[in-house]
A and B are shown apart, each in its own frame.
Chain A
Amino acid sequence: MMKWESWSAFWSMDGAALFVWGSYAVTALLIAVELVLVLRRRSDVVRRLARLRRAAPLANGGRRTSEEIFE
């Protein structure tokens, strides 16, 4: 803590707390949301494609079936 006299001085940002922390909080929130969405998309895709493979186990033979289920 070389710069700030106390933690409360740090959090109050000399009166600019709303603007500074409002910026950082929304940034952190959006990054968290994006990470969750990206990871969830991955597990959704894997699960959906796995279901397709069980529905049409004949490698490429089940092309039309998988197309129907996917869309």
Chain B
Amino acid sequence: MMNTSSLSQKRTPKSILRFAAPQMFYPLAGTLAPWCAGIAAVLTVIGLYIGFFVAPTDFQQGEVYRVIFIHVPAAWMSMLIYLAMAFWAAVGLVLNTRMSFIMTQALAPTGAMFCFLALWTGALWGKPTWGTYWVWDARLTSQLLLLFLYLGFMALTQAIEDQRRADRAGAIIALVGAVNVPIIYFSVQWWNTLHQGASVTPTGSSMASTMLAGMLVMAIASWAYTFAVVFWRVRSLILERERHTDWVGAEIDAQEGRS
């Protein structure tokens, strides 16, 4: 009696780990992506409303500071996504799970986009406030290095034909490059930078509360956007990589019948 119950428990794993299987994660990602996209859209509208119609004019910088509502969320996401890539790379190298390398692969383009946006909006913000689009200070230089790490990861994993070797080489870039993320974050403390220090730290904020609210709403919107796009990209990657399995065949037939 006890034996049978433990057997049946084994047969139906309720653990969240079952989503480590591409076949299980594929439909989950498909269900979650539109919700994340919807949340991102709604929060973006709210965040932009707060940012442009509620938050006051900055007493020092005037209106140009409103770049902050994309600049800071983009910079945060560029660092967080890289750390997420490093995490999945480590999981993939240690446990050799298929989904983890797919996750690393799916995160990179969105991380690169946010990294570029952080640099672009930073340049446009720097010109009127510092008098220059670019300066080789520690914060800006390490952020530029992060963009090269993203591009290097994508170029390398696409250049290597053998999927397993591509995954491993990419995982090593992701892991080694992760050292750069704390350097970016703490650069404004460790070196004398033209870039200002953090306005928002785990212990508090030095901004007007409506400015902070607008920025945080935009940050959560960026999270939701990232989840949506990564889930969509993951689904294509799963189909490509699992194309020899029966379930992908059935899925393709179902998609064909629909169109």
- On A, residues with C-beta under 8 Å from B are 1-4, 10, 13-16, 18-20, 22-24, 26-27, 30-31, 34-35, 37-39, 41-42, 45-46, 49-50, 52-53, 59-60, 63, 66, 70
A19 touches B124 (CB 8 A): yes
A23 touches B125 (CB 8 A): yes
Given contacts A14-B63, A23-B121, contact A53 B253 (CB under 8 A): yes
Cα separation A29 to B235 with both chains bound (whole Å): 24
| Residues from 127 to 179 in B contacting A, C-beta threshold 8 Å | 127-128
Taking CB as reference atom, which chain B residue is nearest A52?
A: B243
| Residues from 205 to 259 in B contacting A, C-beta threshold 8 Å | 225, 229, 232-233, 235-236, 239-240, 243-244, 246, 248-249, 252-253, 255-256, 259
Cα separation A38 to B108 with both chains bound (whole Å): 13
Q: Can you list 21 A-B pairs with a CB-CB distance of less than 8 A? A: A3-B53, A3-B54, A3-B57, A13-B63, A14-B63, A19-B64, A19-B125, A20-B63, A20-B124, A23-B121, A23-B124, A26-B120, A26-B121, A34-B113, A38-B232, A45-B236, A46-B256, A53-B252, A59-B249, A60-B244, A70-B243
- On B, residues with C-beta under 8 Å from A are 52-54, 56-57, 62-64, 66-67, 70-71, 74, 109-110, 113, 116-117, 120-121, 124-125, 127-128, 225, 229, 232-233, 235-236, 239-240, 243-244, 246, 248-249, 252-253, 255-256, 259
A27 touches B62 (CB 8 A): no
Point out the residues of chain A lying under 8 angstroms from B110, CB to CB. 34
Given contacts A16-B128, A38-B232, contact A49 B52 (CB under 8 A): no
B67 touches A20 (CB 8 A): yes
**Given A49-B243, A70-B243, 9 more contacts at CB 8 Å?**
A3-B56, A14-B62, A23-B70, A26-B120, A34-B109, A38-B236, A45-B239, A49-B248, A50-B255
The 6 lowest CB-CB distance pairs between A and B, nearest first, are: A16-B64, A23-B121, A19-B124, A14-B63, A13-B63, A23-B67
Point out the residues of chain A lying under 8 angstroms from B229, CB to CB. 34-35, 38
CB distance from A35 to the nearest CB of B (A): 7
Taking CB as reference atom, which chain B residue is nearest A38?
A: B232
Point out the residues of chain A lying under 8 angstroms from B232, CB to CB. 38-39, 42
Point out the residues of chain A lying under 8 angstroms from B236, CB to CB. 38, 41-42, 45
Point out the residues of chain B lying under 8 angstroms from A19, CB to CB. 64, 67, 124-125, 127-128
Point out the residues of chain B lying under 8 angstroms from A50, CB to CB. 252-253, 255-256
A30 touches B233 (CB 8 A): no
CB distance from B238 to the nearest CB of A (A): 10
Point out the residues of chain B lying under 8 angstroms from A66, CB to CB. 243-244
CB distance from B120 to the nearest CB of A (A): 6
Contact pick for B255, options A20, A38, A41, A46, CB 8 Å:
A46
A53 touches B249 (CB 8 A): yes
Cα separation A4 to B120 with both chains bound (whole Å): 26
CB distance from A52 to the nearest CB of B (A): 7
